[in-house]
A = this chain, B = another copy of it.
Amino acid sequence: MVKKRIEGGVSAPDGFFSDGVSANLKSGGELDLGFIYSDTISNVGAIFTSNSFVASPLKHFQRNRISETDFILVNSKNANAMTGEKGVEDIETIFSQLPKFHNPIMSSTGVIGNFLPIEKIVSGAKRFDLSSQKSENFAKAIMTTDAYPKEIAIRVELPDGKSYSVGGVAKGAGMINPSMATMLAFITTDLEISTEKIVELLKENSKTTFNAISVDGDTSTNDSVFLLANGKKGFYDKSFEVVLHEVMKFLALEIVRDGEGAKKMVSFQIRGAKNDFEAEKIAKTLSDSLLVKTALFGEDPNWGRIAMSIGASGTEVSEEKLSISYEDVEVLKDGKNLFNSEVEKRAFEILKRESFTIFCDIGVGDGEFKSYGCDLGYEYVKINADYRT
């Protein structure tokens, strides 16, 4: 099989269209309302936040038991969360004033606790051009504190001459936490996949992608990952599983890279934990630790904070067996501090990079997990202290 990156994001697969407009939700005419449209009815499945206060768009999707659709409407700036029954009714009101779609879906991101500005959204959506394939406008319309849009498209050519495409787009930045997904992500393909299989694939792949990343350890009320398969190609190929993983991992890492104010993308590769579950717990404790994150921001190879964090994770550990490396620079080996001026200097060089891996060998079993995190600096504070105003 030949796999190549192509342009077109979520509208790259056959029969998908998307675009974004300004509906005056954000100030200054920025894009803030977008759509994904499929010209044939598409199977759809989704995985949602683990937050108990599920936002209204998620309730709307769940109550209507949507498994097929041809239209997803997405707004930024207002999360339509903590808005009670009216929040769900507002979605129905909006769709009742738009051209008729098949089980239309809404998705929202932004501030919690305010009702949707129905008029603005309806009037914006009436300006959609359903034949448009400007996926980057869609990617921009769903951004909140994101610094840049995040999209990908892959075209696969099979040995028998058949081909298919997969497109993906995400928004992230804050309220990113490993306990479930993240933010909003939409993935499209022209393969034929049942809704049941869609949900199964999303769950399986989110464990090592969206669920392995952390920006700030908070879990949003709106986290959603949608996968639409419109079946235009009339077949399914098992290679999709590899491609889907690639798309989900790409989008997840883009979210970390664009973590609010983040300058560094750091992988925490845990080995030798008691089991995979404990390895995951350690990896996520590290990517969530404020003291680890600020040390990364300060480019300080302070392995003591990494050890502290591992010790605080509530897993089986042994001081005499713990080893820590920054890339290939070993700083702690079986509990022995290897720091000297030469090692410290080499570690400093690694810390200066934009992206690197910290390896931790716990030494008590064969559990493994890899999580992805970022540093936390002044920008994070600035973004989150000012966000609502």
Residues A249-307 near B (CB distance < 8 A)? 289-291, 294-295, 297-298, 300, 302-305, 307
Q: How far is the CB of A324 from chain B (nearest CB, A)?
A: 10
Which of A6-14, A78-86, A227-235 binds B? A78-86
The size bracket of the interface on A is: 35 or more
Is A242 positioned at the interface, with any CB of B under 8 Å from its CB?
no
Is A51 positioned at the interface, with any CB of B under 8 Å from its CB?
yes
Bound: A377/B376 CA distance, A: 11
Q: Which residues of B contact A217 (CB under 8 A)?
A: 289-290
Is A212 positioned at the interface, with any CB of B under 8 Å from its CB?
no
Bound: A380/B382 CA distance, A: 12
Q: Which residues of B contact A317 (CB under 8 A)?
A: 52-53
In the complex, the answer to whether B177 meets A312 with C-beta atoms within 8 Å is yes
Is A146 positioned at the interface, with any CB of B under 8 Å from its CB?
no
Cross-chain contact of A319 among B84, B174, B382, B387 (Cβ < 8 A): B84
Q: Which residues of B contact A219 (CB under 8 A)?
A: 308, 311-312
A180 to chain B: closest residue by CB: B312
Most B C-beta atoms less than 10 A away, residue of A82, A175, A216, A332: A82
Q: Which residues of B contact A381 (CB under 8 A)?
A: 294, 297, 376-378, 380-381
Bits for A357-381, please: 1 = Cβ < 8 Å to B, else 0. 0000000000000000000111011
Bound: A382/B308 CA distance, A: 20
Cross-chain contact of A82 among B81, B113, B337 (Cβ < 8 A): B337
Q: Which residues of B contact A337 (CB under 8 A)?
A: 82-83, 113-114
Bound: A287/B294 CA distance, A: 19
Q: Which residues of B contact A295 (CB under 8 A)?
A: 384-385, 387-388
In the complex, the answer to whether B311 meets A53 with C-beta atoms within 8 Å is yes
Most B C-beta atoms less than 10 A away, residue of A79, A308, A376: A308
Residues A127-177 near B (CB distance < 8 A)? 174-175, 177
In the complex, the answer to whether B385 meets A298 with C-beta atoms within 8 Å is yes
A51 to chain B: closest residue by CB: B311
Contacts A84-B335, A304-B79 given: A291-B388 contact, CB under 8 Å?
no
Is A179 positioned at the interface, with any CB of B under 8 Å from its CB?
yes
Cross-chain contact of A53 among B174, B308, B378, B385 (Cβ < 8 A): B308
Bound: A295/B383 CA distance, A: 10
In the complex, the answer to whether B218 meets A290 with C-beta atoms within 8 Å is yes
Sorted from nearest, which 6 A-B pairs have the closest CB atoms?
A112-B304, A298-B385, A53-B311, A294-B384, A219-B312, A113-B304
Q: Which residues of B contact A91 (CB under 8 A)?
A: none
